[in-house]
Amino acid sequence: MHHAHPPRVRWHVETYDPTAAEWSSGLPFTRCQDATDKRTRLDRNHPTWRDGTPVRRRLVLETTTYEDFDADVSHLALFPKSGFVITGVGGQDFAALPDQTPDGRPAIRYAVGSSETGHADVVVPLDQLEEVIAGMRDMARQTGEQPAPLPIPAGTRTTVFHWAADLVAAYTGNSVDATALMLRRVADGRPRPTDPQLDGPALTPRRQLTELEHDRAWHAIEGIDWEAGPDPDTVLNAVLAALAIDPPEVDEMAASLRRDGFGDDEIAEMLADTTIAGEGAGA
């Protein structure tokens, strides 16, 4: 259908009347925060009825749309085709796209329905969006099964980022949560221009030693003259040589040792020992 007027959104503070067995409300509010403040004041100042019975109150969101049934526009063409769209959610389609409130404030319009049977939508102001999302997450956790704890992995940033994405998806109950998708894109090295950029080394995959590499490293350690009391550099360089891995440049090693508190004379002696050990392992 075609909207004859912009949708209207109002918030009500309703009180349950036990005598009439129904909910009643006073004047509506255009902002959720105003309604929340009103309910807080009522709960603080009038928590019970005269007989001591607790007063039950609730917040209710009213959404009203005005459809023009005479407009020569097919409802099939009105379901959003842009923005964020998911099809086939519980037999319906879901869309979210930029919009504005009747008073001109920036907002997000959510549409739920079908391109075949029509849809319903609601406009949420941006200043209330986080509140709505938080409420949806709480409802998802209350209605869904609690996921099993996810073990914290050890490994590269790639592994940890994928784990974080799984954690976000489990927390929100949504495997396509925007934050989870962003974490997976960053972990896989394919971020969007709008994704956050992180300082630090490039993401590299964690590799497992092959059986042959493991055997070569093991035999390199076994072949060391342990009776001579080899220092850690000798052992390390023997393993690196067996695996055909080059050690860091001398300047990088010196900088690392200097950060660890070693003096220049000590660093020079260590680097000399490392060079001799490396030449011996490669001979």
User: How far, in Å, CA of 105 to CA of 124, rounded?
Assistant: 10
- Using CA of residue 180, residue 123, residue 144, residue 84, what is the dihedral sign? negative
Residue located via tokens 């009643």 = 24
Query: What SS3 class is residue 84?
Result: strand
Structure tokens at 43: 């709960």
Asked if residues 81 and 97 have their Cβ atoms less than 8 Å apart, the reply is no
DSSP string, 45-56: H--B-TTSPBPP
Triad 221, 274, 215: Cα angle to 5°: 20
Q: What is the pLDDT of residue 207?
A: 64
Q: What is the pLDDT of residue 116?
A: 62
Report if pTM > 0.85: no
Q: What is the pLDDT of residue 262?
A: 75
User: How far, in Å, CA of 140 to CA of 130, rounded?
Assistant: 15
Residue located via tokens 């956790």 = 141
Query: What SS3 class is residue 79?
Result: coil
Triad 119, 181, 106: Cα angle to 5°: 50
Contacts of 128 by beta carbon, 8 Å cutoff, 6+ apart: 31, 32, 33
Q: What is the pLDDT of residue 75?
A: 46
For the chain, residues with pLDDT lower than 70 are: 1-4, 67-82, 88-91, 114-119, 141-157, 197-207, 247-260, 271-283
Structure tokens at 24: 């009643």
Closest CA to 35 of 63, 55, 61: 61
Q: Could you report how far apart the first and last alpha carbons of the chain are, in Å?
A: 83
Q: Please report, for the chain, the start and end positions of each structural domain, with discontinuous segments joined by +.
A: 1-68, 74-132, 145-207, 211-282
